[in-house]
């Protein structure tokens, strides 16, 4: 018999106060770390230092995250015979942790202090190489531990970014089906559904959440982003969670520079346009209502993009990478015209 085998993290924990019992959670999953290395950023280091487990393990604070520092860390992990990497922070720090895990074959546990994108459990890292940001394949974490209390006290814009990155799966899923239909691209409906279902579910039920800091909302968002990461691992591609809206975001990054605003805000913003182009009328309307409720940035001004740069981005987006999407179905001038009317 032939089946597909799926890798996913041994530990998946999303709850309030889970970091208070970090070691217990690890042991309950039949794991034991004798000599782990905690890596954090400056701010996430301060957050993690409040917890007991942080005082027991060696702790390294990332400075610039450039290649030299990553090489230094790689050597340190091997020389000191660390048996686990506990990577705590936002996407950038988690990406470094995952990359180091690939390089050293030491398992990594992801402990996000921000819920700003699906990097928390994805097999892809964005790294700063020679002052450019490059996407590289990595191993997926063996554990993802999200403390709802920590996320609750993080800045709202990062939670919104996580929301945008999750909602963008609705656009990405459509594009994948389109590519399968139009050009015969191979599709994996299991991984597509794994990324799509939590997104559409959240969209269909957003009235139940009282606010961005609603614990149930944070929980659902965290699981949605974790499942997106696992979906990418199964598909061996970012396809389940990255379509035309990510193309537009990549184009804006190329024109205006990387890291201006959190990635999730930009892709969530582009999803307004792509769901419209896709004719996902009901979803498009619901997304606007959801964004209105949570004050998600919907205008050029709020997202920090000028009209000309958006037009330019829409012209290069269809060909920015080899990924067939709804953008390939329109003339670029037509897309610009629609965006001029739709986006204020």
List residues binding Zn ion (CB under 5 A).
Answer: 165
CA distance 248 to 321: 11
Question: Rounded distance, CA 103 to CA 188, Å?
Answer: 28
Nearer to Zn ion, 107 or 268 (CB): 268
* 141: DSSP letter: P
Looking at the Cβ atoms of 62 and 124, the one nearer to Zn ion is 124
What is the three-class DSSP state of 134?
strand
Shortest distance in whole angstroms from residue 33 CB to Zn ion: 30
Q: Which is nearer to Zn ion, 165 or 175 (CB)?
A: 165
Q: How far is the CB of 261 from Zn ion (least distance, A)?
A: 13
Pairing of strands 36-40, 11-15: unpaired
Q: Give least dist CB 86 to Zn ion, A.
A: 24
Tokens 């913003």, located at residue = 269
**Helix/strand/coil for 153:** coil
Compute the least distance from the CB of residue 242 to Zn ion, in Å: 6
CB of 117 to Zn ion, least distance (A): 5
Listed residue (220, 221, 236, 296) closest to 261, CA to CA: 296
User: Phi/psi at 130 (nearest 5 deg)?
Assistant: 50, 50
Residue 271 or residue 280: which is nearer to Zn ion going by CB? Answer: 271
| Structural tokens at position 141 | 């974490």
* 163 closest CA partner among 303, 23, 295: 295
Structure tokens that stand for 32 in this block: 């034991």
Chain position whose Cβ is nearest to Zn ion: 165
Nearer Cβ to Zn ion (71/135): 135
Quick one: 36 or 162, whose CB is closer to Zn ion? 162
Pairing of strands 36-40, 84-89: parallel
Residue 246: CB minimum distance to Zn ion, A: 6
In whole angstroms, the minimum distance from the beta carbon of 231 to Zn ion comes to: 12
Neighbour-count burial for 269-288, b at 16+ CB within 10 Å, e otherwise: bbbbbbbbbbebeebbebbe
What DSSP string describes 87-126?
Answer: EEESHHHHHHHHHHHHHH---EEEEES---SGGGS-SEEE
Output the six-digit token pair for 254: 């190329």
Q: Which of 238, 278 has the CB closer to Zn ion?
A: 238
Shortest spacing between CB 249 and Zn ion, in angstroms: 8
Measured from the CB atom, is 82 or 245 closer to Zn ion?
A: 245
């Amino acid at each position: 018999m032939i089946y597909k085998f799926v890798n996913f993290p041994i530990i998946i924990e999303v709850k309030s106060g889970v970091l208070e019992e970090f070691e217990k959670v690890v042991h309950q999953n039949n794991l034991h770390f004798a000599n782990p290395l905690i890596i954090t950023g400056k701010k996430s280091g301060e957050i993690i230092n409040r917890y007991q487990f942080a005082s027991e393990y060696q702790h390294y604070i990332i400075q610039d995250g450039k290649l030299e520092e990553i090489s230094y860390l790689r050597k340190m992990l091997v020389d000191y015979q660390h048996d686990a990497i506990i990577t705590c922070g936002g996407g950038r720090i988690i990406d470094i942790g995952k990359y180091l895990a690939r390089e050293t074959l030491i398992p990594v546990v992801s402990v996000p202090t921000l819920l700003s994108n699906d990097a928390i459990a994805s097999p892809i890292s964005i790294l700063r190489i020679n002052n450019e940001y490059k996407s590289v394949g990595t191993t997926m974490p063996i554990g993802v531990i999200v403390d709802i209390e920590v996320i609750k006290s993080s800045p709202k814009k990062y939670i919104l970014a996580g929301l945008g990155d999750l909602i963008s799966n609705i656009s990405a899923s459509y594009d994948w089906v389109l590519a399968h239909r139009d050009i015969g691209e191979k599709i994996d409906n299991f991984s597509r559904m794994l990324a799509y279902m939590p997104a559409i579910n959240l969209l269909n039920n957003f009235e139940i959440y009282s606010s961005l800091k609603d614990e149930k909302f944070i929980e659902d968002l965290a699981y949605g982003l974790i499942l997106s990461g696992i979906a990418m691992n199964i598909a061996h591609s970012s396809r389940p969670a990255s379509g035309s809206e990510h193309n537009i975001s990549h184009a804006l990054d190329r024109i205006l520079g990387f890291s201006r605003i959190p990635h999730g805000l930009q892709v969530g913003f582009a999803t307004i346009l792509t769901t419209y182009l896709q004719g996902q009328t009901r979803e498009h309307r619901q997304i606007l209502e959801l964004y209105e409720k949570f004050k998600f940035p919907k205008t050029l001004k709020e997202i920090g993009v000028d009209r000309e740069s958006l037009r330019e981005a829409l012209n290069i987006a269809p060909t920015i990478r080899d990924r067939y999407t709804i953008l390939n179905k329109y003339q670029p001038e037509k897309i610009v015209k629609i965006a001029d009317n739709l986006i204020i």
